[in-house]
Amino acid sequence: MLETLQKKLVNFYIFLDLAKMVKHIPKDFSGVRKIQERRIRKLMKRAYEIPFYRKRFDEAGVRPEDIRTAADLAKLPVLYKDELRAWMKELDKDPKYKDWYHDTTSGSSGEPLMILLSPREKAYMMANWFRVMMVAGYNPFTGKTMSRKSAHSVSAGYDTALQRIGILRRGFLDQYASEEEMIRQVNDYKPDFLYMNKTELMRLCLYCNDHNSKIHKPKYFVPTGEKSDDIARKLFMKILGPGMIDSYGTAEAGACMVRLFDSKEYVVHNDSFVVNMQEDDGTLALDGNIVVTPLYKTDVPLINYSVGDKGTSVIRDGVRFVTSVQGRSNDFFRYETGEVTTFFEIAPIIAHATDVLQIRFIQESFNEITIQCVHNKAESKLTKEEVEKNLTEQLNAKFKHPFKITYNWMDVIPPDENGKLRMIVCKVKQ
């Protein structure tokens, strides 16, 4: 009954939560750290009341009062996706969660994951997305937003009474249309803020780049759903302008940190999240596995959740700033010997391969790899054959065993069924 009422009040809660959020990057983080630590203490008390977490506390020999800071969270074990999936399936059988939100991840790292969110948690997650916009300087209430179509999209940006007076205006871009039609829709609507899946945005920008098409440059734009590497960032900003917002997060936890414009680092939303880096043994580190704790999730907490990515960071005045995100830790090239090469080992080669705008590896067998790639025709001084020769030499020097590499040059690499683009598709069994 309460959840039904809260769902009806979700827009009210969004405004309420947004009013309490830090909507700028502070020069002095001391105040934000106090908020973070207060919310950590509150979350620990709540989590200890939940059987799933009480067991994890007890097995680690830790009490709620032992955890007061972001660093203290390393005293608890990491929560992995398979553990979360099993817990969510168990809770889903309980009738008391019937009226909660049942969100589902895209399944880019394997089986999709159903995540339970109470109406209050869902409202906070939505408010947090508005916060991402506002940190960059955009006002979502008076500006014009344009996004990809979803199952719930409508066709116009002036459908409600509020939109007719210029508040919360939102248009939709048909990501399934031809590139020329997508360009026309953007140019007609002239959004201040554009966001869509990174692979879809790449397709649009590649077309504009190859055909010298003129497209409206929004003040701000966000490629969502996937990490944008430096080559992609350069292309996006060439076509759409300097207003790129790189928001990092997950469907399970929400947007936990943001990288603005030409900045070299991500800033964590420390009032609402803890982002730690940990070694495989759980030890805190500057570089390692990204582990996220959303502090607003007190109904069904996610404590020390391993998102599956690795990253690098620096700590200044006790605050962690993330300097790079290196992609999924489960992307492997596999060998018949049982050895693997991770994507991180070849990432420096890809980062400096400026002759290629998009790339994906398909491991066909233990001996063969097909590389799909898009040539940077506008800037490359090398032929495709020269690019192939250079890449093959560099990659096989890094692989533990050399592969026969075949290249498939494309105008744009099509996304997977979930709309994302996996960097490595390994067809050989583990």
Are 79 and 278 in contact, with CB atoms under 8 Å apart?
no
Are 205 and 197 in contact, with CB atoms under 8 Å apart?
no
Q: DSSP states of 347-407 as a string?
A: HHHHHT-TTEEEEEEEE-SSSEEEEEEEE-TTT--S-HHHHHHHHHHHHHHHSSS--EEEE
Q: DSSP states of 89-108 as a string?
A: HHHHTSGGGTTSEEEE---T
Q: How far apart are CA 205 and CA 217, in angstroms?
A: 11
Is 413 in the same domain as 340? yes
Is 319 in the same domain as 344? no
Last residue of a domain, one of 328, 356, 371: 328
Last residue of a domain, one of 296, 313, 328: 328
Is 368 in the same domain as 288? no
Is 105 in the same domain as 39? yes
Is 409 in the same domain as 272? no
Say if 62 falls within a structural domain: yes
Q: Mark the ranges of the chain whose per-residue pLDDT is less than 50.
A: 155, 329-330
Are 136 and 162 in contact, with CB atoms under 8 Å apart?
no
Q: How far apart are CA 74 and CA 147, in angstroms?
A: 38
Are 280 and 292 in contact, with CB atoms under 8 Å apart?
no
Last residue of a domain, one of 328, 358, 377: 328
Backbone dihedral region of 107: left (phi > 0), alpha (psi from -120 to 50 degrees) or beta? left
Is 337 in the same domain as 323? no
Give, in order, the Cα–Cα distances in Å from 148 to each of 54, 62, 222, 412.
Answer: 41, 45, 11, 18
- Token output for 290: 């990204």
Is 294 in the same domain as 338? no
Is 15 in the same domain as 118? yes
Per DSSP (E only), the strands in 63-192 are 101-104, 114-117, 144-148, 169-173
Is 19 in the same domain as 86? yes
Say if 147 falls within a structural domain: no
Number of domains forming the structure of the chain: 2
Query: What pLDDT shows up at residue 155?
Result: 47
Query: What pLDDT shows up at residue 416?
Result: 73
Is 324 in the same domain as 336? no
Say if 180 falls within a structural domain: no
3-class secondary structure, 118: coil
Here the CATH number for the domain that contains residue 403 is 3.30.300.30
Say if 179 falls within a structural domain: no
Whose structure tokens read 């209050």? 120
Here the CATH number for the domain that contains residue 283 is 3.40.50.12780
Whose structure tokens read 């939303």? 269
Residue among 69, 127, 50 nearest 296 (CA): 127
Query: What pLDDT shows up at residue 267?
Result: 97
Q: Which amino acid is at 219?
A: K
**Residues spanned by the domain of 97:** 2-123+251-260+263-328
pTM, to two decimals: 0.81
